[in-house]
Amino acid sequence: MTTRANDIQNIHIDNLSFVYEGSSKPVINRLSTSFSAGWTGVVGPNGCGKSTLLEILDGRLKPTSGTITGIQGTSAYCRQETNTKPSDLMEFLESYDKDAIRLKGSLELFGLEAVNWPDLSHGERKRMQLGVALCQQPDLLLLDEPTNHLDSLNRNFIIQTLQQYRGIGVLVSHDRELLDTLCKQCVIYNGDRVFTVAGNYSEAAHSVEQEVRSKQKQVQSLKETANSLKRESNRISEINKGSHKRLSKRGLSPKDHDAKNKIEAARLTNKDSTLSQKKINIERRIGKAEEEIKSLRTAKSYADTIFFESGKAHKKVLLREKPQTIELPGVLMKTPELVIESGAKIGITGFNGVGKSSLIQWLLGGKRLKNCNFFYLQQELDSADKAKLKQELDACSKEDYSKCLQIIARLGSDAKQIIGSDSLSSGETRKVAIALAIVRQVDLLILDEPSNHLDLHSVKHLEQALAQCNFAVLMISHDRHFVDAVCSVRWHIDREGQESVLRVIL
């Protein structure tokens, strides 16, 4: 898949702002940047407006203010959520165009039908989304978390395919390897500032970090200079007070050194005035530098790791299922004895379509967890789910509400922004859900792809917290590093012929 780069004009964004209806704060505030042929990664904390920016570039949203110039030709937008079926899916699946056939083969889409969309796994849906977008060969390609839900094989193919793209590509992702492999430029959100930096993510993040540290050193140097100047100014002021007292005396003899005192007093006064002006100038410079450093993102420190508290589990063993063959939608799964003990950390792994999410639905069904206080966070949340979670947060007691906001902040989001917004991002919504679960003191937290939609800092914080929490965790994830950091047990599922087989790996 190629696009002629010399036919594509650069895109320029000038002073762009966007405010959602009903929101008290702009999600994008006076953004200026540009995009040229090749891939630009857009990186920042959840809720900073990354997905909104893609929708504006695609024409789905209109900016509140500011201008965008240079957008010409066709564009394709692949959203991060997989609940909605792409409008061109049927046409893509039925196409015999050589590019469509190649994409369907590489993405393992042969045999899948658009009418079965509700029954497909989120990984299968994501592959279909990407296939539709890539097959259009657009001049502007906008991808929002394209590797969410994908197993390692499909993820590697997507990376190889995207490397061949020659148009303007804008990529929102928390996948560090994807960003480093594809991007020649990154737009990095850091507090109220946005940096546009040449290089892949690791190079760009290093440059931003160096600039932030440089500003911090500059402020410290200015503070030290100002403090030194203040001390000298205070000393001169004390001397000057004595000089004025001497000048105010009456009846001095003409032989006294009155003239000398006046000259000295005038000299001191002049010095004091000069130093005071210097101090004012320095303090102005300090104020300007401090305002700049305040705008840079500085995560609150809660020691090196964070910890999710929970009450004692009601039972030592939360679930025990005998060896059996389970009939799941579209597949039979053979399982050994399945046990979830209090405090266990279990990761469910396997390729797309082997039945991981269906297994969780089976566990949730019937009365298998009837004596267990659990919370389940599914892969994707629609607008109704998001609204319900926000309502549940707002309905919390004052104490629980405060605890939720603390957890959300520790997961790397601006709690004040969540309070004042009715349009939470997917990442922010997941943090609200996790916070509610922790406050309710669950015995078992069930998570389906928990790192999806979270920014890089949030993934790290969640990883640390889940690894050390005292409640049990059962989670599906294609993020091998995340699973290894959190889980001590894996339920790995392979496809063997027409059946799936689950093996417990300690």
Helices (H), 299-423: 356-364, 383-394, 398-410, 415-419
Average pLDDT, the chain: 82
Would you state the pLDDT for residue 473? 94
Across 73-77, 190-194, 245-249, the highest mean pLDDT is recorded for 73-77
Evaluate if residue 306 carries a pLDDT over 70. Answer: no
317 within 8 A of 446, measured Cβ to Cβ: no
Would you state the pLDDT for residue 6? 43
Would you state the pLDDT for residue 2? 47
**What are the structure tokens assigned to 32, written together?**
């200026």
Would you state the pLDDT for residue 298? 43
Provide mean pLDDT across the span 60-80.
Answer: 91
Query: What is the C-alpha separation between 319 and 341, in angstroms, rounded?
Result: 7
Question: What are the CA-CA distances from residue 82 to residues 41, 129, 236 (Å)?
Answer: 21, 8, 70
Evaluate if residue 11 carries a pLDDT over 90. Answer: yes
Evaluate if residue 82 carries a pLDDT over 90. Answer: no
Evaluate if residue 209 carries a pLDDT over 50. Answer: yes
- Tens digits of per-residue pLDDT, 413-436? 777 777 766 677 788 888 888 889
Rounded to two decimals, what is the model's pTM? Answer: 0.66
- DSSP helix/strand/coil, 331: strand
Provide mean pLDDT across the span 463-471.
Answer: 86
Would you state the pLDDT for residue 151? 78
- Tens digits of per-residue pLDDT, 357-416? 999 999 998 888 887 889 998 888 888 888 888 888 889 999 998 888 888 888 877 777
Q: How confident is residue 300, by pLDDT bands cut at 50, 70 and 90?
A: very low
Query: What is the C-alpha separation between 98 and 104, in angstroms, rounded?
Result: 10
Q: How confident is residue 223, by pLDDT bands cut at 50, 70 and 90?
A: confident
Evaluate if residue 288 carries a pLDDT over 80. Answer: no
Query: What is the C-alpha separation between 73 and 283, in angstroms, rounded?
Result: 52
Beta strands 11-18 and 444-448, pairing class: unpaired
Would you state the pLDDT for residue 179? 92
